[in-house]
């Protein structure tokens, strides 16, 4: 006859907001910086006068649906 055994249940531990908040802010700033360079860095609003940034993110602009030309 077979006997039933149960596995110990482990409960997930809560992560405090104090530990998540700095990483969430950092991730949000990196995301905003990436969206700026991919979506806005072109033309009159450009921070850099050369076309190097534009050419570096050119394919990403089209992949994400930003108009380019």
Q: How does pLDDT run across 29-47, given as a tens digit for each residue?
A: 999 988 887 777 776 667 7
Please state the separation of Cα 15 from the chain's center in Å: 21
The rounded distance, in Å, linking the Cα atoms of 53 and 39 is 11
1 has a pLDDT exceeding 70: no
Query: Is 37 within 8 Å of 53 (Cβ atoms)?
Result: yes
In a domain, 36, yes or no: yes
In a domain, 10, yes or no: no
Maximum pairwise Cα distance, the chain = 80
The rounded distance, in Å, linking the Cα atoms of 55 and 3 is 67
In a domain, 46, yes or no: yes
54 has a pLDDT exceeding 80: no
Percentage of the chain lying above the pLDDT 70 cut: 90
25 has a pLDDT exceeding 90: yes
Residue-range definition of the domain harbouring residue 42: 18-64
Mean pLDDT estimate for the chain: 82
In a domain, 8, yes or no: no
């Amino acid at each position: 006859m077979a006997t039933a055994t149960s596995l110990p249940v482990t409960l997930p531990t809560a992560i405090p907001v104090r530990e998540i908040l700095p990483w969430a802010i950092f991730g949000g700033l990196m995301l905003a910086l990436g969206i700026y360079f991919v979506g806005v860095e072109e033309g009159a609003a450009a921070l850099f006068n050369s076309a190097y940034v534009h050419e570096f993110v050119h394919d990403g602009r089209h992949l994400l649906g930003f108009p380019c030309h």
